[in-house]
A and B are shown apart, each in its own frame.
Chain A
Amino acid sequence: MYDICIIGSGAGGSPIAYELSNAGFKVVVLEKGLLYDEKTFSKDEIAVSRRDMFTPPLWEQKHIINEYKQSGKFMRYDGAESGWSFWNGSLVGGSSNLMSGYFHRMKPKDFELLSSYGEIKGANVVDWCITYDELEPYYDKVEKVIGVSGNVVKHKYQEPRSTQNFPYPMLDTNGVTSWFDKACGALKFSAIPTPRAILSENALGRNACYYSNFCGSYGCSSGAKGSARAALLQKCKAKIVTDAFVYRLDAKEGKVIKAHYYTKHGISHTVNAKIFVLAAQAIETSRLLLNSKSKEYPNGLANSSGQVGKNLIFSAGGSGSGRFIFENLTKEQQKILMQPGLFFNRSLQDWYDYEDGCHIYKGGTIDFLFEHQNIISRANREKYDENGKLLWGDKLAEKIEKTLTTSRVLTFEVFNDWLPTDNCSVGVDEVAKDKYGIPVGVINLNSHPQDIEVGEHLAQKAVQVLEKMGAVEIEYSISGNPPPNLVAGGCRFGDNPKTSVLDRNCKAHDLENLYVTDASFMPTGGSVPYTWTIYANSFRVADVIKKNLRTSIAL
């Protein structure tokens, strides 16, 4: 029997595997996907981006999506028929292999959203049951163990830190960042070098970034990116079982006793352990708990509160862009603009909260980055003219050549709170099943009107910067569309077992040996990408589990 069985090998599960196996405990990690590593990753746009090689085909595994309108009516979409995918990365290390690694800590006020900004009609906002100060040592640990590079600069919303600066220096940046800094200076905005979970120098037994030009969406071939696989699983002795889709947990008398998994050929296996840690990414974690119902647990596991799957959240906001064209630049500026590989790495957090009229709103973060280098995608984007007419032939070739060789796009991404609501949740479908014969997850989607208002406010600030920099064709889109790679909630933690699924240590209130350590625990998401917080919280829970196991051995 294993001491710990972890379901999911991403940012939520791997810190537990790393800490507990390095402490001498017997750990097994069950991962649905396969193993890819530095030797097998490549920058194959056709495989990675055009065919989504790291996610399952939707006709084999899908979701049912109910998109709610403010009226309360909803549209039902079959994921396979609509092509709407909520999969992120089925491989050892999960989607952390494919992240861009834009790393921001949550701010102290993110932990007390209700107390700081008050109730919001139609939103289930609560304070977290832990504070920033309790998580800070683990944010710090992530900087050192996962490896975060950057440079701390003073600004209004800089969160308190236990160290002066990041352990690794900033990555090299493109010269266009100086145009950005100048524009922000003129606008009196505080340009922040974006911290990245990417090593700028050889360290931690991993190689430094080699500026491949293909970072986000692709696996890292040097090990510089702080994926859960490169930073943690390859540095510990936990046993990794690949091709293991966990479809059910058996529990009896308040304890999980067994995990059942299928291989891709439909062969079923079981694993017994003293402690189970669930970290299959928010939607699949709730789905597994709901699919694990039994006579003793008729509403699914850990669900005596009826809260499993509730208050699903994403990152609200959207994205925008502006184009720099050769006609407006000197020869030297053109050369700087087209320099490949180097990062942009600039963020703005001036409006992490802001006053509008007599109300103070929680705002968010804006990250700036160059348009992805995927050349097939960029050529495809030129297929239509300004009137929406499909082009072909020489006219199209000329358009592609001019656009791709004499201009470059700077994009921005807005991150603000996706307010939790009653109509945003996870369930399981009563009819639709996946290729394993297991009921598929139902994703109920609803965005609160304030999400879009705040996103708009932030996007307009980003537009000011692009205008000041001299960009043209500036546009943006803020909407209630959920980014599938920025998902959290569904198993809130809290001190009240009637209104939360997990306790403050992310242990299920109902079960003495089940922990959930992906982003499911988050009652609100902050206005930053989640990965740093997921890692930090998982390291925090690892300490709790370690202490409990040592105590039980001593007894």
Chain B
Amino acid sequence: MQTFTKRRNFLKTGVLSSAVVIMSGCDIFAITTSRDTIRVVQNDLFPKAKELGIDTADYITIVYRQHKISHADKEFLRNGVKWLNEAAVEMHKKQYTLLTEVKRQEVLTEVVKKEWGESWIDTMMGYIFEAMLGDPIYGGNNAQAGWKWLAFEGGRPRPTKVYL
């Protein structure tokens, strides 16, 4: 039973490590992982988190494990990584994580004009805030740094386990 659980967890967390194929037209341009792109784009979207010492990227692993988030929403998150990279390739001939900060902002400014782009950034921002301002038990909001930033006390009692 324990082995089975471990394997299931591995498979679930593995979603972020699995390959995302970036296309340029009909050709394969590069292969990356969701985790690499998400880590960089989250910092581009809300650098305050890093400034407060909060790692928001790993929280996405929990998002993928939560049963109340639909399969379609999880798929959208993953597709957004692919589309963001393809937009980066189209604009600057490089995948998103390899661009300079200025060029990454140019990509974000461009994709937010598209329906999927605005929706994806909005969704990603929501998860950044969950990681920053949710209970520290979820792995973000390190030492309640997010709450302290906004002079927020949190509600009591706090949860004793992560809701999946």
Contact = CB atoms under 8 A, between A and B. Distances in A.
Asked if A and B bind, the verdict is yes
Interface of A: 41-47, 50-53, 57, 59, 210, 212-214, 218, 221, 338, 340, 373, 375-376, 379-380, 383, 390, 392-394, 396-397, 400-401, 404-405
Contacts of A396: 46, 125
19 contacts: A42-B157, A44-B134, A46-B135, A46-B138, A47-B159, A50-B130, A57-B67, A59-B70, A210-B156, A212-B155, A218-B155, A221-B156, A373-B155, A379-B133, A390-B122, A392-B121, A393-B105, A397-B46, A397-B48
A249 B105 CA distance: 61
A42 B158 CA distance: 5
Given A43-B158, A57-B68, A214-B155, A401 B134 contact: no
Interface stretch (B3-11, B29-37, B81-89, B145-153): B145-153
Interface of B: 44-48, 66-70, 105, 108, 112, 118, 121-122, 125-126, 129-130, 132-135, 137-138, 147, 149-160, 163
Given A57-B68, A394-B47, A43 B154 contact: yes
A46 B160 CA distance: 13
A404 B151 CA distance: 9
B122 to A, nearest CB: 6
Given A51-B163, A375-B147, A43 B157 contact: yes
Most chain A CB atoms below 10 A, which of B48, B122, B147, B157: B157
Nearest to B151: A405
Q: Which of A43, A214, A376 has the largest number of chain B CB atoms within 10 A?
A: A376
Contacts of B149: 401
Contacts of B160: 42
A57 B133 CA distance: 24
A404 B66 CA distance: 28
- Nearest 9 interchain pairs by C-beta: A43-B155, A47-B163, A214-B155, A44-B159, A397-B48, A51-B68, A42-B159, A392-B45, A46-B134
B141 to A, nearest CB: 10
B129 A379 contact: yes
A45 B152 CA distance: 13
Given A379-B129, A405-B151, A44 B158 contact: yes
Nearest to B134: A46
A50 B129 CA distance: 11
B46 A393 contact: yes
A45 B135 contact: yes
A367 B125 CA distance: 32
Given A45-B135, A380-B125, A393-B45, A213 B150 contact: no
B37 to A, nearest CB: 16
A6 to B, nearest CB: 28
Q: Is the interface of A mostly helix, strand, loop or mixed?
A: loop
B66 A213 contact: no
A383 B122 contact: yes
A397 B108 CA distance: 17
Nearest to B125: A383
Contacts of B129: 376, 379-380
A375 B156 contact: no
Given A45-B134, A400-B150, 13 more contacts: A44-B158, A51-B66, A51-B69, A52-B68, A210-B156, A218-B155, A375-B150, A375-B152, A376-B126, A376-B133, A379-B129, A379-B133, A392-B46
Contact of A394 (B48, B125, B132, B159): B48
Contacts of B154: 43, 375
Contacts of A45: 133-135, 155
Most buried by B among A47, A57, A340: A47
A57 B130 contact: no
Contacts of B156: 43, 210, 212, 221
A396 to B, nearest CB: 7
Nearest to A397: B48
A53 B163 contact: yes
A379 B149 CA distance: 12
B60 to A, nearest CB: 13
A115 to B, nearest CB: 47
B59 to A, nearest CB: 10
A44 to B, nearest CB: 4
A207 to B, nearest CB: 13
Contacts of A380: 125-126, 129
B125 A392 contact: yes
A17 B163 CA distance: 31
Nearest to B105: A393
B149 to A, nearest CB: 7
Contacts of B105: 393
B135 A390 contact: no
Given A57-B67, A379-B129, A46 B155 contact: no
Contacts of B70: 57, 59
Nearest to A373: B155
Nearest to A43: B155
A218 B132 CA distance: 21
A226 B48 CA distance: 41
Contacts of B133: 45, 375-376, 379
Contacts of B132: 379
Contacts of A401: 149-150
Contacts of B112: 390
A213 B147 CA distance: 14
Contact of A393 (B44, B157, B158): B44
Contacts of B137: 44
Contacts of B155: 42-43, 45, 212-214, 218, 373
A383 B125 CA distance: 8
Contacts of A392: 44-46, 108, 121, 125
Contacts of A52: 68
A348 to B, nearest CB: 29
Contacts of A400: 150
A404 B150 contact: yes
A206 B149 CA distance: 35
Contacts of A405: 150-151
